[in-house]
Amino acid sequence: MTRVQLFTDGAARGNPDGPGGYGAVLQFTDSKGQLHEKTLSAGYVKTTNNRMELMAAIAGLEALTRPCQVDLYSDSKYVVDAFNQHWIDNWIKNNWKRGKSGPVKNIDLWERLLKAKKPHQVTFHWVKGHAGHPQNERCDLLATTAADGDNLLVDEGL
């Protein structure tokens, strides 16, 4: 199984009702030691930071064409802790409810992320944002550039 590193970041201007974007960098080294890399990004007219964090992970996983072992790096505790702290298991068990706090937000994207994740073995890693991590900084630049760009998409789930 191919081992892939996926670095992700999301950004929103005027969160929660401004433009936003995501950035993702996929990397893997082939059997000859050659590094391969793919970058992904898109911007949206109106969205939230959490939705863009989720979209970065989704876009990266959906770009994979066969099952892989994926190390996913994100500065979003929202994304990483949902899996590492097993929040997502409880949300699903409780029909996407968080107890007295009401329904889980962004169910459409959580379901899409679960589907994108399914064929892969994914390990989630948290990295501190804006702390000089080269790939995280690169993803942040991709995300903010996309948010500030033209031809922004509509976030249908918002």
130 is catalytic: yes
75 is catalytic: yes
- 10, 20, 23, 43: which one is catalytic? 10
- 53, 60, 120, 155: which one is catalytic? 53
Taking residue 128's Cβ as centre, other Cβ atoms within 10 Å add up to 9
- 36, 125, 130, 148: which one is catalytic? 130
Judge residue 12's burial from the number of C-beta atoms within 10 Å of its C-beta, 0-12 exposed, 13-18 middle, 19 or more buried: buried
108 is catalytic: no
Name residue, tokens 């929103």: 12
Angle between helices 49-62 and 134-147 (to 10 degrees): 110
10 is catalytic: yes
- 21, 23, 60, 75: which one is catalytic? 75
Active site residues: 9-10, 53, 75, 130, 140
